[in-house]
Structure 1
Amino acid sequence: MKIEMTGIEKAFGTNKVLQGVNFDVESGEVHALMGENGAGKSTLMNILTGLLKKDAGSIKVDGQETTYASALDAEHHGISFIHQEMNNFPQMSVIDNMFLNKEIKNKIGLMNQRKMKKQAKSYLDQLGSHINVDNKIADLSVGEQQMVEIAKSLMTDAKFIIMDEPTAALTENETNILFKTIRDLKKKGVGFIYISHRMEELWKICDRVTVMRDGISVNTYRTQDVKEEQIVHDMVGRDIGDYYPKRNPDLGPVALKAEKLSGNKFTDISFEVHEGEILGFSGLMGAGRTETMRALFGIDKLKSGKIYLHGKEIKFKDPNDAIKHGIGFLTEDRKSEGLVLDQSLEDNIALPSIDGFRKRLLIDQKSEDEMVNMLMKRLTVKAQSAKVSASSLSGGNQQKVVLAKWVGSGSRILILDEPTRGVDVGAKKEIYELMNQLTARHVAIIMISSDLPEVLSMSDRIEVLYEGKQMGIIDAKGATQEQVMKLATGGK
């Protein structure tokens, strides 16, 4: 089986998203689709699977002109799409999500819960995931939700599987299991379209790569014949240099200190972060990194422990209290926690700072507009204007909007949970440079990241957690991935 897309064009109003894209994939291969956020990758896949209609071009399946009426129609014809932003129902159980509109019924028409449970566990077991299928989706971590989405795709017996940032929220072990599953399915003739911003994954799992830039397919290569520098150049239209800017921290006094914090999934966590410092938090999924920060910020309840802000003990009643004390939190799940998706970029960015624009009972719209436009330009947010909704942007640009929100609020302590998840290589470097600029102005940053090279390159010190316990704090200078992973897996 072969899919061929030729000369695909698509515009939304005057915004030309695709301007002539060529792409093909065959059974039994993994073909990567690379490009900066907003390059048109997801739009191209939405056209293939019937979510959007093309304006021009041709789609052929085994030489026959083909158009799918909907995503369900594409799925019935063997094409499954695992979206970056997960498509599930949070208040329903894992098993109900997996079998939605695919329920197994017994002879008298009742749902066969026992058989569905057995099958659900079987598909999750293939991925090395031991999630309780009776749990609500809302109770799962982002990484666990991603594993459910992948398992749902395996259930369809797809001939082609489209994966949009499948490893963004997975641990290294889960990623390795996923890659083994992909290799096993390749041997059975399943083809994959693999969208990722993790450059190192290309040479681990992909056979070919097509690079897109500004709605055009720039080049297609066999991965064994191309180097990373060429792909990056094709993506951004220029040489980008080193990913990670050099850190030359000028540390000030301790900005925030935590003593023996205990809460949901973590116990006796202590650390301090200085003005001008990036303190990295590393660990495997379930280590308690995010839970620690949520409790510190006042989202979840802190069972015990003390927090000191600039030397004074303080207790945050709720997130608003933390924000008033100069703390910002870029959460792991930007879609449900970081943004109001149906609101404009302007409203999202100005939200934590809105009181600063009040003149008596009215909002100083001119001052607000100036700040928002300045931040969008500074963080290179790609959008038609500040008036468009946050839901209309690509994932990476949504991440920049969340960052702009906290930069604009004047936060002196920033908690960044997976700040570059789902962000392209060009935008990553921009975010890293912004972090350096902020710490140069004595902002203290706590960065949670599952990307070990990112942790090692951008942190000044690294706190490692394992199963809710603190394993140690190490100096990032001279530290190795092996040292961090040893601690992250419970080693001394």
Structure 2
Amino acid sequence: MIEIINITKKYGAIVALNNVNITFKKGEIHGLVGKNGAGKSTLIDILYGRISPTSGKIYINSTEIDFRRYHPDIAHQKMKIAIVPQQTEYAQDLTLEENIFLGFEKVDNLGNLDRKYMKNKTREILKEIGLDNYSPETKLVELSFAEKQLLNIGQTLYLRDSEIILLDEIASGLSEERMHFISEQLKKERKKNKTIIYVSHRLKEVIGLCDRITVLRNGSCITTEDIQEMNLDKLTRYIIGSDINMQNSSDAYYLKDYSTQPLLEIKNLSLDHSLKNINFKIYKGEVFGIAGLGVKKLMEILSGIILPSQGEIIYKGEKVFFTDPNTAIKRGIAYLSDDREGESIFTDFSIKDNSIVGSWEKISNFWGINSQKEFELFFSFTKQLRLSYNKFSDNITTLSGGNRQKVCVGRLINMFPSVFILNEPTKGIDVQVKYELMQYIREKLTKNSAIIMSSPEDEELLMVADRILVLYNGKVYDVIPRSEFSESRIFKAVQGG
């Protein structure tokens, strides 16, 4: 059992957790839910010893935690806590057996690795998690992301002798069928009197799986209730705070005419089991929001990063086929990844060079890059987006996260595309920069283009979008017009309810 008493965590003036009190019982699956930034991950990190609270006490099985000495090794070895994080680092070149026993190697009485035991135990775990089509000698790199997640869950449930299990967004990337399978395994672990803390945004699964649910909002504990007293509508209101209808100060910027030829039309687009028969149309001057599971894969198909298994993309009335991102860019479709540090910025390049990558053909002639055009492009976007920097020749890494994001958006602007595909364009930036970007997207980019945009924050889509398409279980669940926007409708649609 875990007792959390008046836990507060501050980062300077920012309060991540504010006087939180929760009891997690033995023999229960306890759901922990809330919007992004509610404090869920901070609480999980405290429980696992990754960070210490600013104040408050935690008792695990009646033993008070000494935060001066508490760290993940102590959490695992003494408190018998195991965690399945949202993102796990894997040893891709090692076998499944080696990955499962990495850090948990079994030795015999002579101090040698007990290969026979580890191989048999690996087979047992693979069978338990439905991956017995693989052998212990299979290299991890051969598994899909979802299968790697299952392997991590299997190691946690069936190898570690844990009494407390922390599950942080484990459903991400798992199909509904596989998640149902894992839910059944968790119910078996509950019968062994274990404490299971389950963090998820998939509320229907939380309601179907958990015994009690705690809601965090803005770092505070809003409520803890038995599942018998909870339903999707009630849980949604707790998480959001109210049924907020977002309105922009001016309706002049929103698209009203859908009688023209669509700029982009998607017909029966599918990707294996991830996306199924996706259909929609997008018009010039429109911000088209997309929410739900499968957003990134859909955007990567539209931008030529991955190929669909079937379906058509019709662009400006013509059927097109993008074999790679460069093909899409040349046709006028530009993509901004949600992984800014890993996929969007070039850490060896200057601020200026990062902003014009992809535009070199437009500013080059027979003799090379036209310096005058190069600087015209650079200074034009820096003025439009109010970029804060010292020297244009400085490395991109000298900028703040918000200004790096402005450079990434500026790079797309410099390509002059007809369709901007923006995957979480405000991710990891502060409120002021976020507002500036959102305003620019709505009021400037739509003048000559269409915008396809996703965001982890529903409020952002409600603020800027003309329509919002919601994906659920790989299919189009709802397309919501602006006149019917409400945060609860999006929230419930993402859950399939």
Provide TM-score, normalisation by structure 2. Answer: 0.65
Change in Cα spacing, 1:230 to 1:385, as seen in structure 2 (3 Å) is: farther
| 1:227-306 correspondence runs (5 A) | 227-240=231-244, 250=258, 252-253=260-261, 255=263, 274-276=281-283, 297-299=303-305
Tell me, in whole angstroms, the C-alpha distance in 1 between the residues paired with 2:381 and 2:197.
45
| Counterpart among 364, 367, 380 of residue 383 in structure 2 | 367
Tell me, in whole angstroms, the C-alpha distance in 2 between the residues paired with 1:35 and 1:260.
34
Change in Cα spacing, 1:309 to 1:103, as seen in structure 2 (3 Å) is: same
1:323 aligns with 2:329: yes
Change in Cα spacing, 1:212 to 1:111, as seen in structure 2 (3 Å) is: same
Aligned twin of 1:72:
73
Secondary structure of the 1:456 match is strand
1:305 is displaced (CA, Å) by 11
Secondary structure of the 1:157 match is coil
| Counterpart among 193, 197, 202 of residue 193 in structure 1 | 197
Bigger shift: residues 294-303 or 231-240: 294-303
Aligned twin of 2:85:
83
| 1:468-487 correspondence runs (5 A) | none
How big is each residue's C-alpha offset from its partner over 1:214-235, in whole Å with a ceiling of 9 and x where there is no partner? 1111211112113333332222
Task: Check conservation: 2:7, 2:54, Cα contact below 8 A.
Answer: yes
Aligned twin of 2:478:
457
Tell me, in whole angstroms, the C-alpha distance in 1 between the residues paired with 2:451 and 2:100.
37
1:5 is displaced (CA, Å) by 0.9
Task: Check conservation: 1:256, 1:310, Cα contact below 8 A.
Answer: yes
Task: Check conservation: 2:237, 2:243, Cα contact below 8 A.
Answer: yes
Secondary structure of the 2:179 match is helix
1:54 is displaced (CA, Å) by 1.1
Structure 2 residues not aligned, in runs of 5+: 247-255, 363-372, 389-399, 407-422, 429-433, 482-495
How big is each residue's C-alpha offset from its partner over 1:417-443, in whole Å with a ceiling of 9 and x where there is no partner? xx67xx5xxx34654x4795267xxxx
Task: Check conservation: 1:105, 1:112, Cα contact below 8 A.
Answer: yes
1:437 aligns with 2:443: no
1:91 is displaced (CA, Å) by 4.3
Task: Check conservation: 1:5, 1:21, Cα contact below 8 A.
Answer: yes
Aligned length: 413
How big is each residue's C-alpha offset from its partner over 1:269-292, in whole Å with a ceiling of 9 and x where there is no partner? 998753349899999x9xxx9889
Task: Check conservation: 1:358, 1:364, Cα contact below 8 A.
Answer: no
How big is each residue's C-alpha offset from its partner over 1:389-413, in whole Å with a ceiling of 9 and x where there is no partner? 99xxxxxxx9463699999587967
| 1:136-147 correspondence runs (5 A) | 136-147=139-150
1:401 aligns with 2:426: yes
Aligned twin of 1:12:
11
How big is each residue's C-alpha offset from its partner over 1:53-73, in whole Å with a ceiling of 9 and x where there is no partner? 111000112322114622232
Change in Cα spacing, 1:146 to 1:234, as seen in structure 2 (3 Å) is: same
Secondary structure of the 1:147 match is helix
Secondary structure of the 2:97 match is helix
Tell me, in whole angstroms, the C-alpha distance in 2 between the residues paired with 1:74 and 1:31.
19
| Counterpart among 93, 98, 101 of residue 100 in structure 2 | 98
Tell me, in whole angstroms, the C-alpha distance in 1 between the residues paired with 2:196 and 2:358.
44
Aligned twin of 1:152:
155
1:17 is displaced (CA, Å) by 1.0
Aligned twin of 2:39:
40
Task: Check conservation: 1:342, 1:389, Cα contact below 8 A.
Answer: no
Aligned twin of 1:476:
none
Secondary structure of the 1:200 match is helix
Change in Cα spacing, 1:328 to 1:388, as seen in structure 2 (3 Å) is: closer
Tell me, in whole angstroms, the C-alpha distance in 1 between the residues paired with 2:140 and 2:480.
32
Task: Check conservation: 1:326, 1:412, Cα contact below 8 A.
Answer: no
1:51 is displaced (CA, Å) by 0.1
Tell me, in whole angstroms, the C-alpha distance in 2 between the residues paired with 1:341 and 1:216.
38
Aligned twin of 1:124:
126
Aligned twin of 2:181:
177
Tell me, in whole angstroms, the C-alpha distance in 2 between the residues paired with 1:389 and 1:279.
19
Task: Check conservation: 2:313, 2:319, Cα contact below 8 A.
Answer: yes
User: Which amino acid in the other structure matches residue 144 of structure 1?
Assistant: E
How big is each residue's C-alpha offset from its partner over 1:230-266, in whole Å with a ceiling of 9 and x where there is no partner? 3322222222489xxxxx994754655799999x979
Task: Check conservation: 2:34, 2:40, Cα contact below 8 A.
Answer: yes
Task: Check conservation: 1:330, 1:415, Cα contact below 8 A.
Answer: no
Aligned twin of 1:165:
169
Tell me, in whole angstroms, the C-alpha distance in 1 between the residues paired with 2:314 and 2:300.
16
Tell me, in whole angstroms, the C-alpha distance in 1 between the residues paired with 2:280 and 2:380.
35
1:196 is displaced (CA, Å) by 1.2
Task: Check conservation: 1:94, 1:136, Cα contact below 8 A.
Answer: yes
Change in Cα spacing, 1:270 to 1:128, as seen in structure 2 (3 Å) is: closer
Task: Check conservation: 2:336, 2:425, Cα contact below 8 A.
Answer: no
Tell me, in whole angstroms, the C-alpha distance in 2 between the residues paired with 1:57 and 1:270.
51
Tell me, in whole angstroms, the C-alpha distance in 1 between the residues paired with 2:289 and 2:402.
32
How big is each residue's C-alpha offset from its partner over 1:359-417, in whole Å with a ceiling of 9 and x where there is no partner? 34745574364489xxxxxxxxxxx9725999xxxxxxx9463699999587967788x
Bigger shift: residues 33-42 or 6-15: 6-15
Tell me, in whole angstroms, the C-alpha distance in 2 between the residues paired with 1:125 and 1:335.
38
Secondary structure of the 2:189 match is helix
Aligned twin of 1:378:
none
Task: Check conservation: 1:8, 1:19, Cα contact below 8 A.
Answer: yes
Tell me, in whole angstroms, the C-alpha distance in 1 between the residues paired with 2:381 and 2:167.
42
Aligned twin of 1:386:
402
Tell me, in whole angstroms, the C-alpha distance in 2 between the residues paired with 1:341 and 1:158.
42
Aligned twin of 1:61:
60
Change in Cα spacing, 1:400 to 1:40, as seen in structure 2 (3 Å) is: farther
Secondary structure of the 2:478 match is helix
Structure 1 residues not aligned, in runs of 5+: 243-247, 373-383, 391-397, 440-444, 461-483, 485-492
How big is each residue's C-alpha offset from its partner over 1:54-113, in whole Å with a ceiling of 9 and x where there is no partner? 110001123221146222321222111111123323444433322211123456655455
Change in Cα spacing, 1:302 to 1:428, as seen in structure 2 (3 Å) is: closer
Task: Check conservation: 1:127, 1:174, Cα contact below 8 A.
Answer: no
Task: Check conservation: 1:335, 1:341, Cα contact below 8 A.
Answer: no
Change in Cα spacing, 1:159 to 1:300, as seen in structure 2 (3 Å) is: same
> RMSD of aligned C-alpha atoms?
5.0
Bigger shift: residues 125-134 or 270-279: 270-279
Change in Cα spacing, 1:295 to 1:221, as seen in structure 2 (3 Å) is: closer
Tell me, in whole angstroms, the C-alpha distance in 1 between the residues paired with 2:326 and 2:106.
46
Task: Check conservation: 1:232, 1:240, Cα contact below 8 A.
Answer: no
Task: Check conservation: 2:269, 2:279, Cα contact below 8 A.
Answer: no
| Counterpart among 206, 222, 227 of residue 223 in structure 1 | 227
Tell me, in whole angstroms, the C-alpha distance in 2 between the residues paired with 1:143 and 1:79.
23
Tell me, in whole angstroms, the C-alpha distance in 2 between the residues paired with 1:233 and 1:260.
35
Tell me, in whole angstroms, the C-alpha distance in 2 between the residues paired with 1:300 and 1:308.
17
Tell me, in whole angstroms, the C-alpha distance in 2 between the residues paired with 1:292 and 1:237.
31
1:450 is displaced (CA, Å) by 2.6
